[in-house]
Each structure stands twice: as C-alpha cells, then as structure tokens.
Amino acid sequence: MNPYHIQNLEHYFQVYRHSVDAPEEFWQQIARENFVWQKPWDTILNWNPDTAEVRWFEGAQLNITENCLDRHLETRADKTAILFEPNNPKDPATHITYRELHTRVCKFANVLKAKGIKKGDRVCIYLPMIPELAISVLACARIGAIHSVVFAGFSATALSTRINDAKCSMVITSDGSFRGSKTIDLKGIVDEALQDTPSIENVLVVKRIQSEIQMKEGRDYWVQPLVEQASADCPIEVMDAEDPLFILYTSGSTGTPKGMVHTTAGYMVYSSYTFKNVFQYKEEDVYWCTADIGWITGHSYIVYGPLANGATTVMYEGVPSYPDWGRFWEIVQKHKITQFYTAPTAIRALAKENLEFVETYDLSSLKVLGTVGEPINEEAWHWYNDNIGKKRSPIVDTWWQTETGGIMISPIPFATPTIPTFATLPLPGIQPALMDEHGKEIEGNQVDGRLCIKFPWPSMARTIWGNHQRYIDTYFSAFAKKYFTGDGAFRDATGYYRITGRVDDVIIVSGHNLGTAPIEDAINEHPAVAESAIVGFPHDIKGNALYGYVILKETGETRNHDNLRKEINQVITEKIGPIAKLDKIQFTIGLPKTRSGKIMRRILRKIAHGESDQLGDISTLLNPEVVEAVIQEAL
Ligand code: WTA
C-alpha cells in the first residue's frame, strides 16, 4: 500500500514501524514518488547531534512553487487553488484557479525582481488575509527570496524588531485591512516601524481598503500597476534542498523573538505528507483552515501543504463574529467545506453563542474537523463533535509547533480512534520520548514527562536566524541529543499522547504563544513601574489569560489605578500588540523571590488561580513575608 496515503489503522502501524526502523528509506520513497525535483539528492539525511545540524535531501535541487503550481497545470489548471472569502459577506467570493495563481505569482515575482530582490534576500510580508498574502509568499519562494511573514496584528515595534533581526530589504503591506466592522491602518503601522529599519529599501503596497495613505517617494510603490505591467513569464530559481525558504518568528520565554529558519526540500515533503494524511484530503475536497498565514499553521496548512497536493484551499479575510456568530457556518454551507481546521479558542467562543447560529446552516459537507494551537478541553471537544461534526466527522487534535514545521502528533481520521483531549499517536517519522527531570527517558505507559523528539524529521527548523547557539541552547541542551519541545505530555495505557501544556515561561493565550519576559520588559518601560511579573490563569474562551503583578516605583502612588492599568496595557499594545494585553493587574508591594533573586512564578500562579491555600513550602524564599501581602491584595 502507498505510504503517502494511509488508509486504516493497520496501515498506519505498518507505515509507522517502517518509518522508525528505516527512516531514510521511508522519507526517500515519499520524496521520490510525490514531488518534482530538478536534481535528486546525494544523501537523504545528514545529522550531527552534537552541533544540532540537520540536513535532509542534500544535493537535491528544486523549487517549491514548481511543486505547488507548475506541475498542476497539466491536470488541474482550471481547478480552484485559492478560494477567497472576503470580510464582507455581501462581496462575492473569488475563485483563483491554478492557472491564474501561477500567472499572478510569476508576475508578482517579476515585480520583486525589478525592485532588486534576489535569491537569499529577506522580504517582510505584513498583509491581511487577502490573496496577495499567499501570492507574495509564493513569489518570494519562486525567486529564492526568504519570506518573513509578520502577523498583521503585531505592533510597529514588534514589526521593526523582526525586520531588523532578519535585515529585510523590503516590506510588502497594504493600505489597510478590514476586520469585521473595523478597518486597520496597516500602512500607518509600517511607516512607524520603518523609522528605524536601515535595511529597508522599498515598500510595496497593495490597495485593499481604498484609504488615503502617505506614500514616500522613491520608497513606496503601489503593487497593482506594477503587477499589471509585469511579464507572466518567470522561470523558477533552482534552489538547493537546504536553502532557506522562510523565517517565522516565535516567542521564547526570554529575550527577543526567535526567527525560526525553515528550509526548502524537507519542509515541502513533510508539510505535504502530513496535509494529505491528517486531513485525508481527496481531489474534490474544499479545505478550510481558519488560521492566519502570519502563523505557522497558515504557512503549512493554508499555503504550502494544500497547494503541493493540488487542493482547493480557502482564505477567509474576516473574523468569526462578523456580521454575526454564524459566519463560519455560513461559509461552510456556501462553499461546501469538507475539512475544517480551527483553534480551541475559536471553538470556545463559538460555543458560548446561541446554537441557532449553527443550526441555521447545512454542515453536511464536513468530513474532518481539526484543532490546533493549545490543548482542547473536553467540553469544547464535545461541543465541536456534537454540533459541528454531528458525531460523524472525526476530530483531529493536532499537536505541533512553529519549530516543527508540520503536524507531529495527531489522529489520522477514519484510522485512529479519537479520545477527547488526546492528540493520540505520532505521525510516521516522528519518534517522541518522555523525559524525567534527571534527563532520563521514561519508558512504558501511564507516564507523565517532558516531551522530546528523538530523531530528526524533514521539516524541523534548522536554526534560529543569526544565532545557532541560541537554537542549541533552547532546543538541544536540556536533554542530550534530543529536541526538547517545551511541552509536557502524558502517555496513556495504549500509548496515546495528551499534551498537558508548556513547562516553560511561555503562556498560550487564544492559541498565541506569549513569552512572559518580553511582556514584563514592556510593562517595566512605563515610568511608574519598578518591577513586574506575568503569569497565566484559566480563562473560559482564551484558554489562558494574563495576570500581571506590578510593583510601582512610588508606594504612595496617588494616581487612579484604573488609569494606570489602561496605560500599562497601552504600553504592551505598542510594544507587542493587543494580543498580549493583561486581563488582570494587581499592584503589589513585593514579589516572592528565591535566594538567588529569581521570581517564584509558581507561587504567583497559585495565587492568580485562586489556590493560595496550596502554596507548599515557602520557607526557602528570600522574602516569605511578602507572600501573605500578595494574597491579601489578590483580585
Ligand atoms: C501548543 C502552533 C496541545 C503547544 C502550530 C506547542 C498544543 C505550542 C496543540 C506551539 C495541541 C499546539 N494540543 N497543545 N493540539 N497544538 N499546542 O508555535 O504548547 O504557535 O508547544 O505552533 O502550542 O505553538 P505554535
């Protein structure tokens, strides 16, 4: 049976076993039989665990857009590649065929070239969920430029930090974006960000909302007229397997965001393979992932994975609540969506609303439902299963990370029996291990531990842009020769995995990873603040919300504290973005610390969870006396 398409549980086990016994042979077959190569590889895997250097398919040459576009022109030229559903339901949806997408990517790529972009240059893309976002991503890949997509909800400061880290020479943005009933001035944010980004030479601006904006002469250009004049002939740049394809930033528990580098061949092979199997994709399907292309989910499972398989992939510009909470289901009915992939936070928000928003629509086209981004709680799982899947469509709870490039642990629909809150079994090629605090692997079942991956897989991030040492320190130093995920997990009696959550100082809020340190740094920039500490606490919809403990410089502070709370959230919005705003801010006289001066977040977490009666031993603290005060002040 074909390992590229897993048919049932027995087949899964057979394929999985082979992928562990002979990983190189396994991936070689997948790569050879399902993609087009300009030149085959000399070696399948080169791995040096001591330096955390991994290379897949070395010697091979290819272009990922040839695999996502050109090769489909023979058989699928008139098939819809991207189905664009605009923010306003009264505006018509757009069907972009493979032929048209190929032309638009080639033209866009020629515009990039005309503006001096060449292989290896970094291009920052800061766009809303409109077709030009996918097109500019593919245009970069076509000419070998490295794209760095920044989610268009990030602030000017966050954008400029990312531009400077990668030394991007161009930004692609739009005059603004539609978000429900609001518009957002993206170009204004870019202008602010570009005040301090010496590497930027040009800005390409897509017209979307027709707003009046400033165009800086000699720097800023409207995209559409340039594209219209551009030639539709753009041969692929022939790339080496390990040439970088993109950089995507993710928050760490400390320091600046990490620019995860994904390379060409391995990423293509793995994102395509997992798309095919995890969604059991078939030729006539209409697949919809509600993520934004600004995140890894959008890269792998809106753009590259679906297009490499010749799929129809939906891009939705708006939000789940506009014009009302029935919008997702209206779209499912209208386009007869077959696979629907979203985040637990969206499911929880939808589940709070009246069921009429669901029942009005015909959802019978759905075959597979997916979730990603954080653990899904049982209640949300059942609501999804009962009301959306009508107990007919399997739910794939997919665990993975920006760093892993593709889905790692997930059921295969119609093969793996699902259990709520379990991501279930590793996909072929993935070798998980649970580790104890002494660095030893925990064998057997019914065990909890830190989740590591023991053997390389094709789409793992190769390094952190410009800082390989940080890559080693973050991912390969906690446990010798193993990739450490930062997550905890439980393995049940049958070998199923349940992800229990982060074990570091990353908090997942509405599916977005937020490091505590950068938020604390932002708060501390407020002139009235002396020190701060952030922890997560449970939230009905967001999964976790942020709770800040803030020490003010003047203890006799007389200003209205509610104003100060607003100001603190304003600073966070400016430095990071509105997603990092605090739900609760407690002004406190002190923070519990260890004798070496580290903040004891464990205690702050308990207090924020309302569990101050379960603090355990606090006698070893530097300042145990502040704990009682912090409890008294708690909100
Ligand atoms: C969490 C998103 C439980 C996890 C693709 C991981 C999950 C982090 C799941 C990566 C899941 C993602 N169940 N937890 N199904 N999926 N996570 O980089 O903590 O934005 O480490 O990638 O999200 O988030 P990232």
Q: Rounded to the nearest whole angstrom, what is the distance from the C-alpha of residue 306 to the centroid of ligand 1? A: 20
CA distance 6 to 60: 26
- Ligand 1 in reach of 67 Cβ (< 6 A): no
The reply to whether 26 and 165 lie within a common domain is yes
The reply to whether 475 and 551 lie within a common domain is no
Q: Are the C-beta atoms of residues 370 and 396 closer than 8 Å to each other?
A: yes
The reply to whether 408 and 522 lie within a common domain is no
Ligand 1, atom 4: nearest CA belongs to which residue? 374
Residue whose entry in the numeric block shows the structure tokens 């709070």: 352
Q: Closest Cα to residue 376, out of 399, 355, 359? A: 399
**Looking at the domain assignment, is residue 420 inside a domain?**
no
Burial grade of 571 (CB within 10 A; 0-12, 13-18, 19 or more):
middle
The reply to whether 263 and 211 lie within a common domain is yes
E-strand spans in 67-120?
Answer: 80-85, 94-97
DSSP output for 318-351: S-TTSSSTTHHHHHHHHHT-SEEEE-HHHHHHHH
Ligand 1, atom 15: nearest CA belongs to which residue? 399
**Looking at the domain assignment, is residue 120 inside a domain?**
yes
pTM for this entry? 0.94
For residue 11, the 8-state DSSP code is H
The reply to whether 203 and 263 lie within a common domain is yes
**Looking at the domain assignment, is residue 455 inside a domain?**
no
The reply to whether 118 and 50 lie within a common domain is yes
E-strand spans in 229-280?
Answer: 239-240, 244-250, 258-263
User: Three-state SS for 479?
Assistant: coil
**Looking at the domain assignment, is residue 114 inside a domain?**
yes
CA distance 281 to 499: 25
Question: What are φ and ψ of residue 553, in 5° steps?
Answer: -65, -45
CA distance 399 to 422: 9
Q: Rounded to the nearest whole angstrom, what is the distance from the C-alpha of residue 398 to the centroid of ligand 1? A: 8
- Ligand 1 in reach of 296 Cβ (< 6 A): yes
Write out the H or E segment, with its range, that includes residue 633: helix 625-633
Burial grade of 53 (CB within 10 A; 0-12, 13-18, 19 or more):
middle
The reply to whether 407 and 524 lie within a common domain is no
Positions in the chain whose pLDDT score sits under 50? none
**Looking at the domain assignment, is residue 582 inside a domain?**
yes
Burial grade of 356 (CB within 10 A; 0-12, 13-18, 19 or more):
exposed
Structure tokens at 394: 């399997």
The reply to whether 516 and 624 lie within a common domain is yes
Residue 515 sits in which domain range? 510-634
List pLDDT tens digits, range 68-109: 999 999 999 999 999 999 999 999 999 999 999 999 999 999
Ligand 1, atom 6: nearest CA belongs to which residue? 401
CA distance 320 to 72: 32
| Amino acid letter for position 587 | F
The reply to whether 474 and 516 lie within a common domain is no
Q: Which atom of ligand 1 is nearest to the CA of 499?
A: 3
- Ligand 1 in reach of 367 Cβ (< 6 A): no
CATH number at residue 566: 3.30.300.30
The reply to whether 476 and 590 lie within a common domain is no
Burial grade of 93 (CB within 10 A; 0-12, 13-18, 19 or more):
middle
Q: Closest Cα to residue 363, out of 288, 302, 303, 431? A: 288
CA distance 173 to 458: 31
**Looking at the domain assignment, is residue 579 inside a domain?**
yes
**Looking at the domain assignment, is residue 171 inside a domain?**
yes
CA distance 464 to 260: 5
Ligand 1, atom 23: nearest CA belongs to which residue? 373
Q: Which atom of ligand 1 is nearest to the CA of 502?
A: 19
**Looking at the domain assignment, is residue 566 inside a domain?**
yes
The reply to whether 121 and 229 lie within a common domain is yes
CA distance 513 to 446: 28
Structure tokens at 340: 């629907």
Q: Rounded to the nearest whole angstrom, what is the distance from the C-alpha of residue 252 to the centroid of ligand 1? A: 13
- Ligand 1 in reach of 513 Cβ (< 6 A): yes
Domain count, the chain: 2
CA gyration radius for the chain? Answer: 24
The reply to whether 475 and 574 lie within a common domain is no
Ligand 1, atom 8: nearest CA belongs to which residue? 401
CATH number at residue 162: 3.40.50.12780
